[in-house]
Amino acid sequence: MKTHELKPHVLELACPPLPVVRIGLIGVGQRGLKALRRYADIDGTEIRVVADLDAERLAEANRQLQASGRPVADVEVGEQAWQSVCRRDDVDLVYICTEWDSHAAMAVAALGAGKHVAVEVPAAISVSECWQLVDAAESARRHCFMLENCCYDFFALHTLALARQGQLGRITHCEGAYIHNLRDTFGLSGRPTDTLRTWMERRCALHGGNPYPTHGMGPVAQLLGLHRGDRLDYLVSMTTQADGADGILGKVNTTLLRTVGGAGIVLQLDLTTPRPYSRLQTVCGTGGYCQKYPLPTVQLVDMPEALTGDDALHFLAPYTLPAVEPFAEEGRRKGVDNVMNYTMDARLIYCLRHGLPLDIDVYDAAEWSCIAELSEQSAREGSRPVAVPDFTRGRWRELDGHRFHVVGD
Ligand SMILES: NC(=O)c1ccc[n+]([C@@H]2O[C@H](COP(=O)([O-])OP(=O)(O)OC[C@H]3O[C@@H](n4cnc5c(N)ncnc54)[C@H](O)[C@@H]3O)[C@@H](O)[C@H]2O)c1
C-alpha cells in the first residue's frame, strides 16, 4: 500500500484575500445552472468561463447570466474543455458541478494549477481519490471546499449552536441520511427494469454501499468535531437486496460508524422506497436530544416534555452561530429561493475574499466521501468492520472542535 508523505497540513488554511472571486464553472446541468443563478445574488464574484459537454447548456448558461445583468462568460465545450478552465490565469475558483466520477480528477488538476476548488458532493468516489485530493491541496496549499449545502440547513446550524452552548451535554450518538424518493426522477414507475436512465441511477444501481454519504455526514461531522479533536475510527455497513433486475428498487444502505472518541453514527441512503424525505439529523447527548425529521423535536433533560414542530423551531431560533447567522439573514432579506444554499455560497465567497479558513476543508471532503467505498467494502464482505483512514496523518488532535471563521477572530 502507498504511504502518504507527510507534508505541511492545510488545517485552518488561510490564503491571500481575493478582492473579487473569478469563477470557472465546469458542468452546467441542472445543479450547475442553479449555482449560476445563485451567484447572481453573491457580491464580489464574476463567472469568467463555463464548460460543458453540451453547447446548448452553455448557451443557456449565458442566457441566464445576461438575464441577471451579468457579463456573458467564455465558453469551453467538449470532453477536455475543463482542462482549459483549470489553466486560465483569470480564474481563482474552479467550481465543479459534473457527475461524481469526474470530480476528483478535475479538482486535483485545478489545485495543481494553483486554483481554489469548490466541488459538488461527493468530492470523490474512492479512498484513493480522497488521498489524491488531500495530497493535491497540501502540495498546492489551496482550498478544496466540498459544496455540502446540508451543513447550512437551519436546523443543523441551530442545533450546532445549541450544542456549542453546552445544552446537549456530551454528544454520544448522531444520525444522518439522504432519504429521498427519486423513483419518478429515475423513471422507475412503470418502465422495464433493464433500462437505467440517469448517471446517478446507474451508479447507485451498481454500488454495493452508500455512494452518496455526505448530506448525512456533514452536519454530524461538524457536531462531533471530526478531525478537530476526534475522528472516524471504523464502520460497518449493510445493503438490502434490491427488488428487480435493475438493482435499485428498494435498495437501502445502513452504515454504522464509530469515532475514536467513542461516539456512534447511523448513516442511511434510501432513494427508492416511498419513505418521506428525511436527512434524519438526529443528535443524542447526555444533556439533550434534537431531531429534524419527521417532526422537528427538541428534548433537553430539564424540559418536562419534548417540544415538537413549530415549538421546537421557535426554541432553536435564538441559538445562532454569530459567524454564520448574518449570511442566512441576508439570504432571507434578499428573498432568495433557498437560504441554505445561499448561506453556503455567501460564506464560501466571504472567506475567500477575506483570506479566512473555509468552513469545510479538504480533510472533510475526504472523510465524508471515502464512506462511499468503505461502506461498499463492508457491505460486500458480510458487514465486516472497515477502518477509516486518518487523512490528517495524525494531525486531527491539533484543533479543538470545528470553527466558522470571521474577520477579526
Ligand atoms: N448539493 C446538492 O443538494 C445537490 C443537488 C443536486 C446535484 N448535486 C450534485 O451536483 C452534481 C451534478 O449533478 P446534476 O444533477 O447537475 O447532473 P447533470 O447530469 O444534470 O449535470 C452534469 C453536467 O456535467 C456535464 N459534464 C459531464 N462531464 C463533463 C466534462 N467532462 N466536462 C464538462 N462538463 C461535463 C454534463 O454535460 C452535464 O451538463 C453531482 O455531483 C450531484 O451529486 C448536488
What pLDDT digit, counting tens, does each position of 257-294 carry? 999 999 999 999 999 999 999 999 999 999 999 999 99
CA distance 96 to 130: 16
> Which pLDDT value is given to residue 189?
62
Residue at which a domain ends, from 128, 147, 166:
147
Contact 310, 243 (CB under 8 A): no
> Which pLDDT value is given to residue 183?
84
197-200-201-206 Cα dihedral, nearest 10 degrees: 120
Residue-wise pLDDT for 164-210, tens only, equals 999 999 999 999 999 999 988 777 665 554 556 789 988 998 999 99
| Segments in 317-361 forming alpha helices (H) | 325-334, 339-354
The protein residue whose alpha carbon is closest to atom 7 in ligand 1 is: 31
> Which pLDDT value is given to residue 198?
83
Considering the domain architecture, whether residues 381 and 292 belong to the same structural domain is answered as yes
Q: How confident is the model at residue 409 (pLDDT cuts 50, 70, 90)?
A: confident
Domain ranges, residue 289: 151-322+361-397
307-308 and 93-96: which strand pairing? unpaired
Considering the domain architecture, whether residues 159 and 143 belong to the same structural domain is answered as no
Residue 370 lies in a domain: yes
One-letter amino acid at 5 equals: E
Residue 409 lies in a domain: no
Residue-wise pLDDT for 216-239, tens only, equals 999 999 999 999 999 999 999 999
Residue-wise pLDDT for 385-405, tens only, equals 999 999 999 999 999 999 999
Q: How confident is the model at residue 244 (pLDDT cuts 50, 70, 90)?
A: confident
Number of structural domains found in the chain? 2
- For the chain, helix, strand, coil in percent to 5 are 35, 20, 45
Q: Is 35 near ligand 1, meaning CB less than 6 Å away? A: no
Q: Is 80 near ligand 1, meaning CB less than 6 Å away? A: no
Collapsed DSSP state (helix, strand, coil) of residue 171:
strand
pTM of the predicted model as reported, rounded to 2 decimal places = 0.96
Q: Mean pLDDT for the chain? A: 95
In this model, does residue 1 exceed pLDDT 50?
Answer: no
Considering the domain architecture, whether residues 97 and 133 belong to the same structural domain is answered as yes
Closest approach atom of ligand 1 to CA 100: 41
Considering the domain architecture, whether residues 133 and 116 belong to the same structural domain is answered as yes
Q: How confident is the model at residue 3 (pLDDT cuts 50, 70, 90)?
A: low
- CATH classification of the domain holding 35: 3.40.50.720
Residue-wise pLDDT for 303-336, tens only, equals 999 999 999 999 999 999 999 999 999 999 999 9
Q: Is 52 near ligand 1, meaning CB less than 6 Å away? A: yes
Q: How far is the CA of 261 from the centre of ligand 1 (A)?
A: 36
Residue at which a domain ends, from 92, 113, 147:
147
* Mean pLDDT in residue range 28-32: 96
Residue at which a domain ends, from 117, 147, 177:
147
User: Hey, which of 25, 60, 97 would you mutate to test ligand 1's pocket, going by the most ligand atoms within 8 Å of its Cβ?
Assistant: 97
Q: Is 98 near ligand 1, meaning CB less than 6 Å away? A: yes
One-letter amino acid at 215 equals: H
Residue 252 lies in a domain: yes
Q: How far is the CA of 8 from the centre of ligand 1 (A)?
A: 32
**Residue 237: which of 219, 216, 222 has the closest Cα?**
216
Q: Is 29 near ligand 1, meaning CB less than 6 Å away? A: yes
The protein residue whose alpha carbon is closest to atom 20 in ligand 1 is: 29
Q: How far is the CA of 307 from the centre of ligand 1 (A)?
A: 39
* Mean pLDDT in residue range 336-358: 97
Give the number of other CB atoms < 10 A from CB of residue 400: 9
CA distance 225 to 85: 34
Q: Is 213 near ligand 1, meaning CB less than 6 Å away? A: no
The protein residue whose alpha carbon is closest to atom 2 in ligand 1 is: 149
Considering the domain architecture, whether residues 213 and 292 belong to the same structural domain is answered as yes
CA distance 223 to 156: 9
Residue of higher predicted confidence among 130 and 205: 130
Q: How confident is the model at residue 343 (pLDDT cuts 50, 70, 90)?
A: very high
> Any residues with CB less than 8 A from the CB of 43 and at least 6 apart, and which?
349
Residue 329 lies in a domain: no
CA distance 243 to 274: 14
Q: How confident is the model at residue 10 (pLDDT cuts 50, 70, 90)?
A: very high
